[in-house]
Amino acid sequence: MFQLISVLRLSFSLFKRNLHTAAEPHILSLLNQCSNFKHIKFTHGFMVLRGLDHNNLLLSKFIDTCSVLGFTDYGYSVFTHKTHPDIYLCNTMIKALSRTSSPKEAIVLYNRIQVMGHRPDTYSFPFVLKAVVHLSAVELGREIHGQSIRFGLEADVHVMTGLIQMYSSCGVILDARHLFEGMPTRDVVTWNAMIAGYAKVGDMESARGLFEKMPDRNVISWTTMVAGYAQTNQPNDAIRVFQRMQLEDIEPDEIVMLAALSACAHLGALELGKWIHEYIDKRGIYKIVPLTNALIDMYVKSGSIEKGLEVFEKMKRRSVVTWTTIIAGLALHGFGHEALEMFSRMERERVRPNAVTYVAILSACSHVGLVEMGRWHFNSMSSQYQITPKIEHYGCMIDLLGRAGKLGEANELIRQMPYEPNGAIWGSLLAASRVHGDVELGECALKHLIEVEPHNSGNYTLLSNIYAASGRWHEVGVVRKGMRDKGVKKNPGGSSIEVNHVVHEFIAGDISHPQFENIQGILYVINGQLKMAGYVPKECRSLLEHEEG
């Protein structure tokens, strides 16, 4: 604040000497230093006192600063008192309003531009189209598209790129591609917008096709591809593109590393995750909390809870996501008591838990069978933190009760919950019924499961195993027939392993891996050693063993 006042005093002395032009850089510097609402109001008061609120350039910078700091309403109130705003100032205000939770105001202001006597320009359209995206108002977007043509901007690369982003973000990908193909010139931003559009709708094949055709790529191009594959549950492809990015000496940014860490976590690619960790340390960007959170998530999901804890303890700033991630990681590895202690530590440090934190806590209770503790946390989340239990929390409680053999209580909780039970709920009850041999409850759960997930082969498999465990082979056959009649096929099992930063995937029944014969030979040797050690496999005739062709 002292530095801010010093700058103001300097500007004031300049004004006393009527050096308005020389003062403008100092006001711009002052705006760059604003960091809170007190600074904003103080600076605005100074501008009004000295008549600088009539300077469109300075007022545009002031409104942009308000927007960046989250005080757009204040900036808009200042804008409304401007008698004759120019098109540059109007565009700045539209841009600011398009970022808010009420983007309709941006569209209202855009419609007022011509009433003010201005002509929308190459910047007006991209800004207002962002508001259209937030509203998912594709028909309004089409109207604005028509207006851009009437104003002769149908060949402007900035306007066309904004339209491509609008159409693709609203799910009208064919219209976006039609515009893209019709553009006489395209820059890298246009290519990236079209690729991002395909990634958003999950069409990574088309995104990849465009990516390979790009005349020039930047880090955003690579980031879009890696993030697109990660978000569409194609982690192997995400990692391949990320590795290719390294080979082409493209320096990854924080966003692409977040996406790559997400893919590593999904696959358990620990070695590649460690390489990213080293890269983050070398660049000194470990202070970025979301990136560090992703590191913790990668380590715990890749089987290295120790490294996850090490990263956690080194963090100087932790968000609720940080605490939730490490609690969930401890629960995943069976350290339920440690997870609960970490939650107590979180509370002692006055970090308020959220709904996801309680999913992790209830999962921890479930993993170690702490029924009473689970009940207490389930009740306290609403009484202590005013967090209304969601269906995920009920699912955790049903899993906890089911694992503990309290099937009747679990079934009663399903009846009382204020949500329609989903597949995860009935699946938990079915799995618990199998473990505890409750055939009747298992049949009941399966009937509901078939209604919500009629083609999930795992549901039929669990019930057949319940029948098989109790020697009811006729019912096993009935389940198999019902599965065949409905056209349900058992999904093959799969696994993956990382060797030298390369992830190898294995699918049951697939013999295409180049090392298949060597792998089979090693498995044969291992089986022989197991038999020599006295291991006898437990045989159980069930639906899992084979399917009729």
Residue 512 lies in a domain: yes
Exposure on the CB side of residue 430, measured as CA atoms within 13 A: 24
Among 317, 333, 364, identify where a domain stops. 317
Residue 180 identity (one-letter amino acid): F
Residue 342 lies in a domain: no
Residue 529 lies in a domain: yes
Positive or negative: CA dihedral 455, 456, 458, 464: negative
508 touches 494 (CB < 8 A)? yes
pLDDT given for residue 475 in this prediction: 79
C-alpha to C-alpha distances, 516 to 79, 489, 491, 505, 526, nearest whole angstrom: 70, 25, 21, 12, 15
pLDDT given for residue 396 in this prediction: 94
pLDDT given for residue 499 in this prediction: 58
pLDDT given for residue 497 in this prediction: 63
Beta strands in 394-526 (DSSP E): 494-499, 502-507
Residue 325 lies in a domain: no
Beta strands in 116-157 (DSSP E): none
Q: How many domains does the chain have?
A: 2
Residue 120 lies in a domain: no
Cα–Cα distance measured from residue 309 to residue 335, given in angstroms and rounded to the nearest whole number: 12
Residue 289 identity (one-letter amino acid): V
Q: Where does residue 130 rank: exposed (0-12), middle (13-18), buried (19+ CB within 10 A)?
A: buried
Cα–Cα distance measured from residue 543 to residue 134, given in angstroms and rounded to the nearest whole number: 49
Provide CB contacts within 8 A for 125, sequence distance 6+: 144, 147, 148, 153, 158, 159, 162, 163
Residue 261 lies in a domain: yes
pTM of the predicted model as reported, rounded to 2 decimal places: 0.70
What are 220's two structure tokens? 């955003």
Residue 27 lies in a domain: no
pLDDT given for residue 17 in this prediction: 45
Nearest to 201 by CA among 168, 167, 153: 168
Nearest to 226 by CA among 265, 260, 192, 276: 260
pLDDT tens for each residue of the chain, 549 residues long: 445 545 555 454 444 444 455 567 767 777 888 888 888 888 888 788 777 778 888 889 999 998 989 999 999 998 988 888 899 999 999 999 998 888 899 999 999 988 888 899 999 999 999 999 999 899 999 999 999 999 999 889 999 999 999 999 998 999 999 999 999 889 999 999 999 999 999 999 999 999 999 999 999 999 999 999 999 989 989 999 998 998 888 888 888 898 999 888 888 888 888 888 988 888 776 667 888 999 999 999 988 999 999 999 999 889 999 999 999 999 999 899 999 999 999 999 999 999 999 999 999 999 888 999 999 999 999 999 999 999 999 999 999 999 999 999 999 999 999 999 998 899 889 888 888 888 888 888 888 887 887 777 777 777 777 777 777 788 778 777 777 766 666 555 556 565 555 666 666 556 666 776 777 778 777 877 887 777 766 554 444 444 443
pLDDT given for residue 505 in this prediction: 63
Cα–Cα distance measured from residue 294 to residue 264, given in angstroms and rounded to the nearest whole number: 10
C-alpha to C-alpha distances, 293 to 194, 220, 283, 290, 379, nearest whole angstrom: 30, 22, 17, 5, 28
C-alpha to C-alpha distances, 269 to 84, 95, 235, 494, nearest whole angstrom: 59, 41, 10, 15
Among 317, 352, 376, identify where a domain stops. 317
Cα–Cα distance measured from residue 454 to residue 465, given in angstroms and rounded to the nearest whole number: 18
pLDDT given for residue 444 in this prediction: 87
296 touches 272 (CB < 8 A)? no
Among 293, 317, 341, identify where a domain stops. 317
Strand partners for 496: 505
pLDDT given for residue 199 in this prediction: 94
pLDDT given for residue 457 in this prediction: 74
pLDDT given for residue 220 in this prediction: 93
pLDDT given for residue 140 in this prediction: 94
- Write out the residue range of the structural domain in which residue 257 sits: 236-317
Residue 254 lies in a domain: yes
